[in-house]
Amino acid sequence: MLDGDQGKAASLAMCILTKIGEIYDADKMVEIGSAHVLGHFGSLHDAGIHVLEKFAGSNGRYKVPTTVDPASMDLEMWREFKTPEAYAEKQLRLCRAHLRMGVIPTWSCTPYLHGNLPRYGEHISWAESSAVVFANSVIGSRTNRETVGLEVAASIAGRTPEFGVHLEENRRGDILVEVKATNLCDIDYNTVGYLVGKTFGNRIPVLTGLPQNTGIDQLKCMGAAMACSGAVAMYHAVGITPEATTLDHAFQGDHYSDRIEIGRTELKNAEEEISTVSGGKIDLVAVGCPHCSFDEMRKLALLLENRKIHRSVEFWIYTSKQVESLARKTCYADIIESSGAKISTQTCAVVSPINTWGFESVMTNAAKFAIVLPSEHKVKVIYKKIEECVEAAVKGKV
């Protein structure tokens, strides 16, 4: 493949993968079962278009099932969301290049909810840190936090160099996190994730104390926060995630090198720390990071039923096209839109140019949005429970 037997694109892909493998001292390549690639112009810029069009123009084809992350705009309603024409044209070039190579056009950061569900132990090549941490931790499949372009090369070649968390020994837990707070609600999982990532960077935490009935959405949000405040590629939750049936299993029979306890006080302090302001007028409530599941849409509909969002506030819910279409087949989309909230699909507040709206303050229940939006879009952020976000949206202020 490297010599060009399978065409120019495969040769270029293998050239990139081989170099990366050499840098990380990988012994060999492993075949991958799927890929998840990035496709937002807001992060890839002109260089990303150049690389993708080069692969696509050399007859590059994705060899394994490959889903794609959100785009930098709602691909159908981008004009309604005030996306500049020139910006949209660049995003559409990225879309066309991915489609030409055979991407599955999910445009969502939750590929595991939309047909890209790897099996336990399977090697994959995924970008999008929130999806990576979910795949490694909750499913037990194996992917490094791929950098832009590497996941494209891996999908074209159908393989990736074996290093990092592809190797069993690098999946060993390193840090003990004892969650002492009880009665955890959805925002608490986000905040636990924030604290773990902020404290331990890219190490592998082992969490105890989470309830046995911790849900998929809670694990999804906790991992996303960890991967964002730190650079966590995987975590273990004892009795919940598959490589942590016991504490000993999670640490592979070894000892931890550090530990923290997270109680109610730590959660409360962290919540305040994440917000950049404590109150005032809000311009936008942004929900759905990572993209809302159907169950999260259902819960939002119940909270918004018979409520009216204040005329000075935008309330945007980010999700995939698939979840939106299910919400439209039920009563939930109607209930949400009757309140004045909008459903935006295939994109999110971080990767799209929301600054065209002139927002100054954003309220959210998602730690990842709260961490990234101030630097990405120069907005003030208030981070609160979803119930408080709805109340503030109705009043127009906190």
Q: How far is the CB of 4 from ligand F3S (least distance, A)?
A: 35
Stretch that binds ligand F3S, among 277-285, 289-297, 300-308, 355-363 (CB under 6 A): 289-297
- Give the count of residues interacting with ligand F3S (CB under 6 A): 13
Query: Per rule CB under 6 A, is residue 236 in the interface with ligand F3S?
Result: no
Q: How far is the CB of 289 from ligand F3S (least distance, A)?
A: 3
Stretch that binds ligand F3S, among 23-31, 76-84, 234-242, 284-292 (CB under 6 A): 284-292
Task: Please say whether the beta carbons of 350 and 376 come within 8 A.
Answer: yes
Q: How far is the CB of 31 from ligand F3S (least distance, A)?
A: 27
Query: Per rule CB under 6 A, is residue 367 in the interface with ligand F3S?
Result: no
User: Both tokens of residue 209?
Assistant: 């104390």
User: Both tokens of residue 319?
Assistant: 């999700």
Q: How far is the CB of 291 from ligand F3S (least distance, A)?
A: 6
Among 291, 377, 380, 384, binds ligand F3S (CB under 6 A): 291
From the list 291, 350, 222, 250, the residue with the least C-alpha distance to 36 is 291
Query: Per rule CB under 6 A, is residue 351 in the interface with ligand F3S?
Result: yes
Q: How far is the CB of 5 from ligand F3S (least distance, A)?
A: 37
Task: Report the amino acid identity of residue 17.
Answer: L
Query: Per rule CB under 6 A, is residue 224 in the interface with ligand F3S?
Result: yes
Query: Per rule CB under 6 A, is residue 350 in the interface with ligand F3S?
Result: yes
Among 175, 348, 363, 390, binds ligand F3S (CB under 6 A): 348
Q: How far is the CB of 350 from ligand F3S (least distance, A)?
A: 4
Query: Per rule CB under 6 A, is residue 91 in the interface with ligand F3S?
Result: no
Stretch that binds ligand F3S, among 31-39, 286-294, 377-385, 388-396 (CB under 6 A): 286-294
In the complex with ligand F3S, which residue's Cβ is closer, 224 or 301? 224
Query: Per rule CB under 6 A, is residue 36 in the interface with ligand F3S?
Result: no
Q: How far is the CB of 247 from ligand F3S (least distance, A)?
A: 29
Query: Per rule CB under 6 A, is residue 368 in the interface with ligand F3S?
Result: yes
Q: How many CA atoms lie less than 13 Å away from 22 in the CB half-sphere?
A: 6
The dihedral sign for the CA sequence 4, 9, 10, 13: positive
Binding mask 305-344 for ligand F3S (x = CB under 6 A): -------------x--------------------------
In the complex with ligand F3S, which residue's Cβ is closer, 21 or 197? 197
In the complex with ligand F3S, which residue's Cβ is closer, 12 or 228? 228
Among 29, 270, 289, 313, binds ligand F3S (CB under 6 A): 289
Q: What string of H, E and C letters represents the secondary structure of the chain?
A: CCCCCCCHHHHHHHHHHHHHHHHCCCCCEEECCCEEECCCHHHHHHHHHHHHHHHHHCCCCCCCCEEECCCCCCCCCCCCCCCCHHHHHHHHHHHHHHHHCCCECCCCCCHHHCCCCCCCCCECEECCHHHHHHHHHHHCCECCCCCCCHHHHHHHHCEEECCHHHCHHHHCCCEEEEECCCCCCHHHHHHHHHHHHHHHCCCCEEEECCCCCCCHHHHHHHHHHHHHHCCCCCCEECCCCCCCCCHHHHCCCCCCCEEEEECHHHHHHHHHHHCCCCCCECCEEEEEEEEECHHHHHHHHHHHCCCCCCCCCEEEEEECHHHHHHHHHCCHHHHHHHCCCEEEECCCCCCCCHHHHCCCEEEECCHHHHHHHHHHHCCEEEECCHHHHHHHHHHCEC
In the complex with ligand F3S, which residue's Cβ is closer, 1 or 109? 109
Query: Per rule CB under 6 A, is residue 70 in the interface with ligand F3S?
Result: yes
In the complex with ligand F3S, which residue's Cβ is closer, 244 or 317? 317
In the complex with ligand F3S, which residue's Cβ is closer, 174 or 296? 296
Pairing of strands 159-161, 29-31: antiparallel
The residues that touch ligand F3S, with contacts defined as CB under 6 A, are: 69-70, 109, 130, 224, 289-291, 318, 348, 350-351, 368
